[in-house]
Amino acid sequence: MTTFSQLEKILSTKRCGAFALIDPDIKNDGNLADTVKKINQSGFDAILVGGSLILDNNFDNRIDFIKKNTQLPVIIFPGSSKQLSGKADAILFLSLLSGRNPQYLIGEHVESAPVIHSLGLEPIPTGYILLDGGSRTSVEIISNTIPLPMDKVDIILAHALAGQYLGNKFIFLECGSGALNHVSTTIIETLSKRLDIPIIVGGGITNATSSKSIANAGARFIVVGTHIENGASIEELREITSSI
């Protein structure tokens, strides 16, 4: 069974699933074992691994460590074409729909595609839309793109529909790590009524109230990352995953 099929199976049995996001940078190495253990006990459905900027060459080793210490699917959430590993189960093959930087619309894809093929890594085409969550994020800086304002729902919908028509399997709505605000429920409700593909929502999800409202609005997966990195307890994380 492919990883994408596993995700479809999760969505066939649950209203909304949950991804835990791990930033595989050297600064998090000391807590990596505890982080994976916490995720395993907190009701998540899969682990995303990736970050906007990784300061060493140990990405493959960290993927290997995570994979050996969990039964959950491990999916790369790449910040660049350098974040690749054959030890992962799959990779979100991201297209930054909200930006106009050609490097993240096609450049990184051309560089990574031959490597993904040689590794036998399963690509999951995903349209990525960066929204303004109230603070300037690493994604915005590294990708040199401007997030879409959350009050421009019609423009966000147009980007999401374009992503669907291009053949993406998911639309990923993101406010960036450590966002002050999560994606508005108005946006999620509007897109969920018009799209035929599932919506993933990440950024700024720190409690059960926000996760429940996002799931109620129509998100099919939520992503929790910074909250885990900042030391959320198993109990707090379980409240989030059980609320959806």
Domain span holding position 128:
3-243
* Three-class secondary structure assignment of the chain: CCHHHHHHHHHHHCCCEEEEEECCCHHHHHHHHHHHHHHHCCCCCEEEECCCCCCCCCHHHHHHHHHHCCCCCEEECCCCCCCCCCCCCEEEEEEECCCCCHHHHHHHHHHHHHHHHHHCCEEEEEEEEEECCCCCCHHHHHHCCCCECCCCHHHHHHHHHHHHHCCCCEEEEECCCCCCCCCCHHHHHHHHHHCCCCEEEECCCCCHHHHHHHHHHCCCEEEECHHHHCCCCHHHHHHHHHHC
Which pLDDT score is estimated for 78?
A: 95
Which pLDDT score is estimated for 178?
A: 65
Which pLDDT score is estimated for 8?
A: 98
216 token code pair:
């109620």
CATH number for the domain spanning 10: value is 3.20.20.390
Count up the domains in the chain and report the number.
Answer: 1
The residue count for the chain: 244
What's the pTM? 0.96
Half-sphere exposure of 151 (CA within 13 A, CB side): 1
Question: Tens of pLDDT along 17-55?
Answer: 999 999 998 889 999 999 999 999 999 999 999 987 776
Which pLDDT score is estimated for 133?
A: 86
Which pLDDT score is estimated for 54?
A: 77
User: What would you report as the CA-atom Rg of the chain, rounded to the nearest whole angstrom?
Assistant: 16
Is residue 95 within 8 A of residue 127, CB to CB? The reply is yes
* Main-chain phi, psi angles of 151, to 5 degrees: -85, -5
Which pLDDT score is estimated for 194?
A: 98
pLDDT along the chain (244 residues), means of 10: 98 98 92 97 98 83 98 96 96 96 94 98 98 86 92 98 98 83 95 98 95 98 95 98 98
Report the amino acid identity of residue 207.
N
